[in-house]
Structures are given as structure tokens and as C-alpha cells.
Amino acid sequence: MSLEVSAQTRLGEFALDASFASDSRVTAIFGPSGAGKTSVLNVIAGLLRPERGRVAVDGAVLLDTDAGIFVPPHRRRIGYLFQDGRLFPHLSVKGNLLYGRLFAKPRGGADASFAEMVDLLDLGALLERGPAALSGGEKQRVAIGRALLSSPLLLLLDEPLSSLDDKRKDEVMPFLERLRDQARMPIVYVSHDLAEIERLAGTVVRMAEGRVLGAERARSSTFRGERDSPSARDR
């Protein structure tokens, strides 16, 4: 698994100049609010087109401004999970999961993949429920399953636990660890919570003021003691 990201652009008065590479299954982006973490995710997803940049996932080039390459977002096969999950309120859990399948490239064993996802995220008892009947942690598990069933080349998780209380975070974290261990694609994980990053990530990219300060293996003493507020929105 490999991920290469480089992006230089301006967003009003904010300048993004970030570059890093990782071969970890989970790459975490960590830094204070306004550091540009979400902007980097949007570049990877194709939602933000930088003035200069390059994005490559497992050798597949999605963006290379020097070569004139820009794969549009709907063709990048990237799963993007936001803080609130954003489930369709008129669909059941099963309907939301199957919606993700609509964007998957045809391949054999689709039914088995659905069953495996339900088992991985322990959703069997929830399939007929609507989103309004789910807890915050259950909604996030469904949103993760929907993203994975689209057969993405890469999964982006933008502070997926930040809207949950400690009890719900403890409920979801084991599923994220199972996802990390069983995933067949790289994962980029943005979080303000250092404990989450230490549990999940193989590589940590530290950002501040639109720049990458370092990209190192997780659990390094470099990251211990750093703090950030989970309440503020990132750029």
C-alpha cells in the first residue's frame, strides 16, 4: 500500500503547501485547527483542485498538474467519511449499505462482500432499522460500511469520532481497528485525538499552518504530549 500527496494552492489568505508519502495501511493527519488537514483530504478526493500537486494511490495517479492529469472525483473510487456519517434518512440500514454498492465496479462475490461487511461491522441486527432509530456510533458504523461497499481504492476518514461521546467512541473504535487489520486499501485518518491516532495509525503526518512538519512512524515520542482542541472545525 502506498500513498503520495503533494499540494500547493491558496484558499483566500490561507496557503496550503503540503507534501508527504506513506506506505502504511493507516496514515493519520494530526495538527491544530486551521492546519489544513481537511484541505489535504479534499485534494486527495478531487474536491479541491490545487494550483500544483500530485496524488498517487498504489501507483495509480489521480492528480499530476505537471503532466496535466486530473481524475474527476466521481472516477477516483475514493470513500469519504465525514463526522456525521450523512446517511440517507429515507433508507433503512440495508438500503444505505446497498447504495454504496451502486458505485462499486462489477466483480465476483458481491453478495459475500456484503455479508462480510455486515459481519465486520456487526450490523446484522440493524439492517431493517432507519437512521433515526440508530445511536451515533451505529450511524458511523453504517456509514463506514456504505463507503467500503463502493469498493474504494482509498478510504478517507475526517474525524469520524469527533461528534460522539466517550461511550460511543469506545463502541466504534474496535470496529475501526478491525477495519485497519482487514482493509484491502490505504486509509487516511484525520483526528484531533492523539489516543485514537496511536491506536490506529502506522504513519502520522503532523501539520501546522498549511504545512507538513513531519511524517513519521506512529507511537514516536515526538507526538506524545501534543494537544489540540476537538471542538474547532478544521479548514
Q: What domain range includes position 124?
A: 3-219
Is there a domain that residue 229 lies in?
Answer: no
- φ, ψ dihedrals at 219, nearest 5°: 70, 10
Task: Look at residue 219 in the predicted model and tell me its pLDDT.
Answer: 62
Task: Look at residue 235 in the predicted model and tell me its pLDDT.
Answer: 47
Is there a domain that residue 224 lies in?
Answer: no
State the cell numbers at 179.
477495519
Is there a domain that residue 227 lies in?
Answer: no
Is there a domain that residue 58 lies in?
Answer: yes
Q: How far apart are CA 167 and CA 138, in angstroms?
A: 12
Q: What is the mean pLDDT of each run of 10 residues along the chain (235 residues)?
A: 94 96 94 92 97 95 98 92 83 91 57 78 93 90 88 90 84 87 88 87 95 82 41 41
Contacts made by residues 173-182, CB under 8 angstroms, sequence distance 24+: 173/199, 175/120, 175/121, 175/122, 175/141, 175/144, 176/144, 176/200, 178/120, 179/120, 179/144, 179/148, 180/25, 180/26, 182/120
Is there a domain that residue 113 lies in?
Answer: yes
Is there a domain that residue 225 lies in?
Answer: no
Task: Look at residue 171 in the predicted model and tell me its pLDDT.
Answer: 83
Is there a domain that residue 54 lies in?
Answer: yes
Task: Look at residue 226 in the predicted model and tell me its pLDDT.
Answer: 43
Contact of 29 with 189, CB cutoff 8 Å? yes
CATH of the domain at 101: 3.40.50.300
Task: Look at residue 51 in the predicted model and tell me its pLDDT.
Answer: 97
Is there a domain that residue 228 lies in?
Answer: no
Q: What is the DSSP letter of 106?
A: P
Task: Look at residue 114 in the predicted model and tell me its pLDDT.
Answer: 86
Task: Look at residue 8 in the predicted model and tell me its pLDDT.
Answer: 98
- The number of domains in the chain is 1
